[in-house]
Structure 1
Amino acid sequence: MQPRHPAPLNALRAFETAARCLSFQAAATQLFVTPAAVSHQVKRLEAYLGVELFRRGHRAVELTPAGEALAASLSDVFAQLDLALNRATAPKAAHLRVSTVESFAAKWLAPRLHRFHRDCPDLKLRIETGNEPTDFFRDGVDVAIRYGPGGYSGVDAELLMDAPVFPVCAPALRSDVQQSLKVPDDLSHHTLLHDESAAGRPGVPDWRAWLDASGTKRVDASRGPVFASIYLAQEAAVAGHGVALGVAPLVEEDLQRGRLVRPFGPSLANAYAFWIVRRHDAQAYPAVEAFCQWLRKEAAEQDAHGANED
């Protein structure tokens, strides 16, 4: 079998863009060329491969089965190529993109970043928030920290911290002599603050689960406002607007600084935890490993502090 000539990279790029857009016009806009140039490159690739990649209609194009298969592979190939080029041309100080949930970014990561910058002054972080599955190649993310049950496929996932749950409130709320907050039954006189993180997630404690575990039957678990995130519910508790269920790693800073207190137990185990998620080859990048090592160190220190308090 005679070897082929080298693959036509410009034609491959034109095809991948056109396949993603399903439009030669849109692909041309992205590539800063004319639609005719895109069409020419696609025809060149079809001739090179000896297969039809698009079915061309009067006003639209549609991928053939061969085109769909090639487009799926090229999408990852070009994403990896772009990432490799970005790393090769990056400035001397490494830049890491970190994706995490809003609550973790605000309540755990941000208060500790001064220590990271002290330990790793040459590493610059860009923190992005979201809880959707991360496409590390396409999104350019180096490390993701997720709140979930684990079992992430196609990536390396490492448990960072467990996330037990317990009630928290502002100190003034606990010390209010007119509406005491000393035992779980006292919650019947206070606003319960809810967040959506427990909704429809088996094993993630909500107020009903906590009240059942505490043995109290006098409190309506459905009372009180519902917030879109743990962070918002916790901020409402800091402001003295009610009692929230705190996720341990996310309330540690506020407990230490006296913005929140634990009025009573118990603490419930949580099926969700915080995970470090990254590509399989991420350990080959020293900057990524340095950041992950720092995360492990901070999590271990938090665990030791919690054990001492207990």
Structure 2
Amino acid sequence: MNMTPLKSLPVFETVARLNSFSLAANELNVSQSAVSHQIRILENYLGESLFHRQGRNLELTKEGKQYLDAISSSLLQINEATNRLKGVQKTHIRLAVYSSFAVYWLIPRLPELKRLHPSLELSIEMSHHSPDLSDRTADFFITVEKEKRGFLFESLYQEELFPVCSHQYFETIKNKLNITSTQELSDKLKTTPSLLAQFPLITSYSIYDSHTEDWRRWFANLKQPLPSTIQFHRFSHLMLAYEAAKHSLGIALVNDYMMNEKYEETPLTRLPCRAFKTGDNFHLAYKESRKNEDAIRHLKQWLKEEANSLPRF
């Protein structure tokens, strides 16, 4: 039987992960020539080039990416089986998560995770878009994706957007509308949501890949057209819209998870009017082959418990 050169596989994984022959040599505590030799053995066996080499730049070929995805889970399973037999449990886990979720919701809650699971080491991989579901990216994902072969998905929550502004700007709104109480403002906005068009509205591009589309959908949810008189402040990302609202630039639409009511630290206040669902459902995702790992189970359970505590409007 013509056996796969197993000794070359962890060398290939390390080079691909670090994108460097020299860094892989340092991690594996061997010479760079030994690393190159193992990669050459594997490429000769497969009959395929696994890396593009252009000077100092190194990049996986299409075949290299496919091969890495195919063998990564097997290498992880071998490593986990070895550690379990030795009585060693994996405590380090990489979590890929959207940037706004990481900054406004996850990080403020990490002290509680550390208190409950002090041996769990968490690395945060932040992404502006849906992260690539691959071992090369992370071990655990929060994503709007909901299916990929070899992965398990569990629903976390449905995203909602609602209008917010700074506490100072909230008073400005009441004064301009000659309103003294929050209840009175709520009553007026329920009957005449277009009152918001009297104030600058902050729009972000990142959710719908279009400025003003967030507000158009908010008004449409109330069966109202988008008023043509609105002055918009345009930003590329929801995080920038949040910061603009915080500095009293106007009224923004933000996610429920960005408000962080659990710790009452938010510099924003929610206007007393309806939220609407964006249509994005967030899921927890991880390799099916890793579902019994303690680190995966603990992180999954904690995230679901914390998500269940999100205020629903």
CA contact (8 A) 2:154 2:283 kept: yes
1:113 CA displacement? 1.3
| Equivalent in the alignment of 1:72 | 66
Rg larger for: 1
- My pick for the range that moved more, 166-175 or 70-79, is 70-79
CA contact (8 A) 1:102 1:129 kept: yes
* Structure 2 residue ranges without an equivalent (≥5): 26-30, 55-60, 180-184
| Equivalent in the alignment of 1:62 | none
| Equivalent in the alignment of 1:214 | 222
Q: What is the TM-score of this pair, normalised by structure 1?
A: 0.71
Separation (CA, whole Å) in 1 of partners of 2:92 and 2:136: 17
- Describe the SS at the equivalent of 1:271: strand
Q: What is the TM-score of this pair, normalised by structure 2?
A: 0.71
- Describe the SS at the equivalent of 2:67: helix
CA contact (8 A) 1:16 1:75 kept: no
Per-residue CA deviations over 1:105-141 (Å, capped at 9, x if unaligned) read 11111121121111111112111201343343223x2
131, 135, 140: which one aligns with 1:137: 135
Q: Which amino acid aligns with 1:8?
A: P
Separation (CA, whole Å) in 2 of partners of 1:41 and 1:151: 38
Distance 1:205 1:301, change over 3 A: farther
| Equivalent in the alignment of 2:273 | 265
* Structure 1 residue ranges without an equivalent (≥5): 21-25, 60-66
Separation (CA, whole Å) in 2 of partners of 1:143 and 1:169: 33
| Equivalent in the alignment of 2:202 | 193
Say whether 1:98 aligns with 2:95: yes
Separation (CA, whole Å) in 2 of partners of 1:68 and 1:255: 46
Q: Which amino acid aligns with 1:77?
A: I
Q: Which amino acid aligns with 2:132?
A: T
Say whether 1:179 aligns with 2:173: no
| Equivalent in the alignment of 2:28 | none
CA contact (8 A) 1:15 1:38 kept: no
Q: Which amino acid aligns with 1:173?
A: Y
Say whether 1:152 aligns with 2:147: yes
1:229 CA displacement? 2.1
1:45 CA displacement? 7.2
278, 283, 287: which one aligns with 2:291: 283
- Describe the SS at the equivalent of 2:95: strand
1:219 CA displacement? 2.9
Q: Which amino acid aligns with 1:106?
A: V
CA contact (8 A) 2:216 2:226 kept: no
Supply the RMSD in Å over aligned alpha carbons.
Answer: 4.1
Matches within 5 A, 1:1-310: 3-4=1-2, 6-10=3-7, 32-34=31-33, 38=37, 41-42=40-41, 46=44, 53=48, 72-73=66-67, 76-77=70-71, 80-81=74-75, 85=79, 88=83, 94-130=91-127, 131-139=129-137, 141-146=138-143, 148=144, 150-154=145-149, 155-176=151-172, 178-180=175-177, 182=185, 183=189, 184-200=193-209, 206-216=214-224, 219-220=227-228, 223-253=231-261, 256-257=264-265, 259-302=267-310, 305-306=311-312
Separation (CA, whole Å) in 2 of partners of 1:186 and 1:16: 58
Distance 1:261 1:90, change over 3 A: farther
- Describe the SS at the equivalent of 1:116: helix
1:292 CA displacement? 0.5
Q: Which amino acid aligns with 1:193?
A: I
Separation (CA, whole Å) in 1 of partners of 2:303 and 2:156: 8
- Describe the SS at the equivalent of 1:138: coil
1:81 CA displacement? 2.1
Per-residue CA deviations over 1:2-37 (Å, capped at 9, x if unaligned) read x44x4333566788999x8xxxxx8799665459x7
1:71 CA displacement? 7.7
CA contact (8 A) 2:152 2:288 kept: yes
Q: How many residues are paired up?
A: 277
Per-residue CA deviations over 1:184-232 (Å, capped at 9, x if unaligned) read 333223211111233248xx97101112333555733874222232222
Separation (CA, whole Å) in 1 of partners of 2:11 and 2:299: 37
Larger fraction in strand:
2
1:72 CA displacement? 3.4
CA contact (8 A) 1:136 1:278 kept: no
Q: Which amino acid aligns with 1:94?
A: T
